[in-house]
Amino acid sequence: MYRTRQYRISKNHILYDYCRDICRSSAILYNRANFILRQYSSSVDSMAGFKPL
C-alpha cells in the first residue's frame, strides 16, 4: 500500500522553483534508471547463448 499526499503550490510561492526542479530531477533519474535496467536485461538475454556454463 502506498500513501501519497498532494500539495498544490502556486507559481508565486517561494518554494515553487525548488519543488519544480526536484520533481523534474526525480523524473529524469527514474527514467534513466529504467533505461539502464532495460538495456542491461536485454543485453544479458541476447548474450545468453555466448556465455559458458
Rounded to whole angstroms, the Cα distance separating 26 from 32 reads 10
Domain assignments of the chain as residue spans, ordered by start: 1-32
Q: What is the pLDDT of residue 36?
A: 87
Question: Which residues have a Cβ under 8 Å from the Cβ of 19 and sit 6 or more positions away?
Answer: 9
Q: Read out DSSP for 4-20?
A: -------TTSTTHHHHH
Predicted confidence (pLDDT) per residue in 1-53, tens digit: 788 889 999 999 999 999 999 999 999 999 999 898 888 877 776 656 666 54
> pTM for the full model?
0.66
The confidence score (pLDDT) of residue 37 equals: 82
Mean pLDDT of the chain: 85
Question: Which residues, including other chains, have CB under 8 Å from residue 9's CB and lie 6 or more apart?
Answer: 15, 16, 19
* C-alpha to C-alpha distance for 28 and 25, rounded to whole angstroms: 5
